[in-house]
Structure 1
Amino acid sequence: MQLTILGGGGFRVPLVYGALLTDRGEGRVTRVTLHDLDPARLSAVARVLAEQAAGIPDAPEVTATTDLDEALRGADFVFSAIRVGGLEGRAADERVALELGVLGQETVGAGGIAYGLRTVPVAVDIARRVARLAPDAWVINFTNPAGLVTEAMSHHLGDRVIGICDSPVGLARRVARILGADPDRASADYVGLNHLGWLRGLRVDGRDELPRLLADPEALGSFEEGRLFGPEWLMSLGAIPNEYLHYYYFNRETVRAYQEAEQTRGAFLRDQQARFYDEMALPDTPALAAWDRTRAEREATYMAENRDAAGVGERDADDLESGGYEKVALALMRAIARDERTTLILNVRNRTTLRVLDEDAVIEVPCLVDANGAHPLSVAPLPGHATGLVCAVKAVEREVLAAAGSGSRATAAKAFALHPLVDSVTVAHRLVEGYTSVHPGLAYLKRP
């Protein structure tokens, strides 16, 4: 099988290739095509992959190209992992928002809207090309904001595009470990949108063990989400929120922490990865060692501002393990290619899963995956507090899609103004002005 990775010069691509190297089964990926607009980044990542594959027989063959159509032809699976505007764009998203006193995180609030406005047109173009050049391919979307971008691509690819995120899996695995359960045997009741979901149950051998955790304040405070949100709040909710809900529940504290930080997350990653790629420009640099060192620093500093706002210090070693988005992607490909039925938390079209949303709305829920794709499993209705947030944020996503399709600045301003973390129509218009002034990719937004 051929796997094409769009954004193939991206820093996290070696995680995907490392997962592919562990797969020795029939029907595995044997060819990987990397596509990126930056030849130097492609070359750097290809060197890391070559060192990963050293000594491994029958490692997937790797080729690289800057020609998108060439990359798509013949693909069985397409990973979309692009970053429109690069990390400089992410840093600008954060800076513009913070100057106006609102959150600039890349998937949540004003920053997520700005990122979506410049990413959706590119993602739609990719979806159209896939439909024309590789109509039988499955697209696995990593590109943020993952739910929004997956929904935009689904208008052209239907159910053949599936969004993935490692946050829900990481959350479920952390909770399982706290409960003394095997994470691989636990079944999560998780529901919401991407970066806006709640773990409501964790079944082990048919029994929901989450109530036992929610009744134990000491245990609740012993892992990442418990430290972020506080045991009392988790007990009040009766669920464990995705870590990104910290931006909603503690918005003022988080915005202040971001404003007081020496660097925003985007600026940190921009500078860190620039050093990595500069180092990789030297022919004698040990590629894999340089990548491993950079990744360790990246993981240790993840969501540092939120932990500062919560006063919980550095991450524990047990919390450094993510859900492993590369492992989720591999499991998804294997289930489809080999009809190995499995259950994964994915971003898919709603159908009738959540009745407060329409059928085409992309949601994040457990899905049964087989050769015919991902099928959302039935879930209990959302509680009132979650329904309000999910419906409000989905309405914002729809305005982003409308603005991207029409090029209307007024619709873009409406998207900002409707977001729960942007509390002013005046600020919304200033955000549009600020973002269009720093992002050439938003030049398509026109005044009436």
Structure 2
Amino acid sequence: MKKENLHVTIAGGGSTYTPGITQAVLNNLDRFPMTKLTLYDIDEERNEDMLLIIDYMLKTTGHDDIELNATLNPKEAFTGCDFVFSQIRVGGMEMREKDEKIPLKYGLVGQETCGVGGFSYGLRSIKGLLGVVGFVQEYAPDAWILNYTNPETLIAESIRRAYPKAKMINACDMTISIEETMARNFGYDRKNWICQYYGLNHFGWYTEIYDKELERDVMPELIEKLKKKPMKIASFNKGDQSWQDAWNKLSKILNLFPDYLPNNYLEYYFFPDIVVEETDPNYTRANMVMDGRLKHTKDMANEIRNNEDGNILDFDFGEHGQYIVDMATSILNDSHDRFMLILPNHGAIPNLRDDAAVEIPAYVGRKGAEPISMRHNIPDFHKGLMEAQNAAEKLLVDGYFEGSYQKVLQAFTLNQTVPSADKAKLALDDLIIANKNYWPELH
């Protein structure tokens, strides 16, 4: 692997998260010397908007010596690249809106990565990521793929089956978002934390948060603080009431189950009836993003087109971009830094099935991820929840590769946000129609 003149391709280059990733690279050029950046997307308008924004960013920060390209052609995008940062959203926000609103018709959770909406998105994402990984294997087989595309456990399971030798690491930034929000709320420095965590993607628990500076596990005191008072949203979620609702429910979970600190996404599995009741079926999270982050990004691109003055670039995405750049740097320099990743279990959680795709701490170096073993069994409550959800995910992936309506229906029915097989079938049949251009044919 070369260590200079790196070529990075961002798959899903038109994403609103691309500026945060780019800025993180620019802040770390001494450790990660990128000289070429390619934005790859299938949405030409969004990719062109982002090309304007990133070009403006490079010029105004004194990095216009970095070669910048945008393309819809996979051969141009991936040939000769060293790292691929993947953040694709198959179907865009329009399909996310359907993932959220169709389940709500039947009193089911409508959410991007959880419930049957998450499974709907998963079937689209599997196809999209298999395509990206296939292109990378063809045009840049030695490149590392660092994947942010959701739903992560479904992606990890699918790529493991189709491309077992792909140099790919699956990571989710939700754990660091939780950690950063807690740290900012309660006066800690997240960079001092060593976290023990296990689960599936968006479905897990912290068992320890050791603070190196304070020389103690701060998780018990965090739990007590959160039980008494929910967190306030951090600046990277500013103005987004849905995140405040999430932190409120995190405190609710802790008052019921205070032994471990949960991922806030467990609200969809513990309180699906409450979530449905509190959700406006006509204006869901997808609409909030379209009216917020997407519009904001479009406005910035137009300001650049119109040669407007002032502080045009206005982004705060927390640690999202830094996390993926830190992973790439750890691979490049073989530094074995520690990250929360989605990996095959292989005994890391001793009393969970060996082939489960789990989210656990791991060290990352030149040969990829080395998972850290829990070295003890997890509680039956968590194990039972995880086993059911993992079985549902595996059935969904089976259904994708086999084109099996029956297995996808089983997956929908087993999903723990779904109270009835009848509702699972109603939602599935509607989602098949909505996803006719994206899902495999089920029979």
**TM-score bucket (shorter structure):** 0.7 to 0.9
> SS at 1:190's partner residue?
strand
Alignment partner, residue 269 of structure 1:
289
Q: Which runs of 5+ in 1 are unaligned?
A: 297-320
Does structure 1 residue 24 correspond to structure 2 residue 46? no
Runs of 4+, deviation exceeding 6 Å:
none
Q: Distance in 2 between matches of 1:443 and 1:173?
A: 36
State whether residues 16 and 294 of structure 2, in contact with CA within 8 Å, keep that contact through their aligned partners in structure 1: no
Distance 1:234 1:326, change over 3 A: farther
Alignment partner, residue 381 of structure 2:
385
Q: 1:213-269 CA deviation, whole Å, 9 max, x = no partner?
A: 3355776545567632336834733111111111122221111111x3651011232
Query: Which stretch of the first structure deviates more once superposed, 234-243 or 109-118?
Result: 234-243
Q: Distance in 1 between matches of 2:270 and 2:16?
A: 31
State whether residues 5 and 78 of structure 1, in contact with CA within 8 Å, keep that contact through their aligned partners in structure 2: yes
Distance 1:286 1:219, change over 3 A: farther
Residues 232-243 of structure 1 correspond to what in structure 2 (within 5 A)? 233-234=254-255, 236-243=257-264
Distance 1:288 1:102, change over 3 A: farther
Alignment partner, residue 169 of structure 1:
176
Distance 1:228 1:245, change over 3 A: same
Q: TM-score, normalised by structure 1?
A: 0.86
> SS at 1:351's partner residue?
coil
> SS at 1:440's partner residue?
coil
Alignment partner, residue 276 of structure 2:
255
Q: 1:60-93 CA deviation, whole Å, 9 max, x = no partner?
A: 3211110112211111111111111110000011
Q: Distance in 1 between matches of 2:296 and 2:254?
A: 40
Query: Which stretch of the first structure deviates more once superposed, 231-240 or 151-160?
Result: 231-240
Alignment partner, residue 208 of structure 1:
217
Does structure 1 residue 196 correspond to structure 2 residue 230? no
Distance 1:437 1:329, change over 3 A: same
Aligned equivalent of 1:374, options 369, 372, 385: 369
Residues 296-311 of structure 1 correspond to what in structure 2 (within 5 A)? none
Q: Distance in 2 between matches of 1:58 and 1:274?
A: 25
Distance 1:181 1:159, change over 3 A: farther
Displacement after TM superposition at 1:434 (Å): 0.3
State whether residues 159 and 348 of structure 1, in contact with CA within 8 Å, keep that contact through their aligned partners in structure 2: no
Displacement after TM superposition at 1:55 (Å): 3.9
Query: Which stretch of the first structure deviates more once superposed, 217-226 or 33-42?
Result: 217-226
Distance 1:359 1:435, change over 3 A: same
Q: CA RMSD in A?
A: 2.6
Q: 1:373-413 CA deviation, whole Å, 9 max, x = no partner?
A: 11111224322211111111111111111111111222211
Aligned equivalent of 2:42, options 20, 37, 45: 37
Q: Distance in 1 between matches of 2:435 and 2:154?
A: 19
Q: Distance in 1 between matches of 2:31 and 2:415?
A: 47
Aligned equivalent of 2:77, options 71, 75, 96: 71
Q: Distance in 1 between matches of 2:441 and 2:134?
A: 21
Alignment partner, residue 300 of structure 1:
none
Distance 1:419 1:82, change over 3 A: same
Q: Distance in 1 between matches of 2:308 and 2:228?
A: 42
Q: Distance in 2 between matches of 1:24 and 1:48?
A: 19
Q: 1:393-440 CA deviation, whole Å, 9 max, x = no partner?
A: 111111111111111222211110111111211112112210111122
State whether residues 51 and 288 of structure 1, in contact with CA within 8 Å, keep that contact through their aligned partners in structure 2: no
> SS at 2:383's partner residue?
helix
State whether residues 227 and 255 of structure 2, in contact with CA within 8 Å, keep that contact through their aligned partners in structure 1: no
Q: Which runs of 5+ in 2 are unaligned?
A: 1-5, 234-245
Q: TM-score, normalised by structure 2?
A: 0.87
> SS at 1:230's partner residue?
helix
Distance 1:405 1:285, change over 3 A: farther
Aligned equivalent of 1:152, options 149, 155, 158: 158
> SS at 2:194's partner residue?
strand
Q: Distance in 1 between matches of 2:378 and 2:309?
A: 47
State whether residues 204 and 262 of structure 2, in contact with CA within 8 Å, keep that contact through their aligned partners in structure 1: yes
Alignment partner, residue 54 of structure 2:
49
Alignment partner, residue 306 of structure 2:
284
State whether residues 69 and 129 of structure 1, in contact with CA within 8 Å, keep that contact through their aligned partners in structure 2: yes
Q: Distance in 2 between matches of 1:36 and 1:192?
A: 31
State whether residues 153 and 357 of structure 2, in contact with CA within 8 Å, keep that contact through their aligned partners in structure 1: yes
Q: Distance in 2 between matches of 1:436 and 1:3?
A: 36
State whether residues 16 and 326 of structure 1, in contact with CA within 8 Å, keep that contact through their aligned partners in structure 2: yes
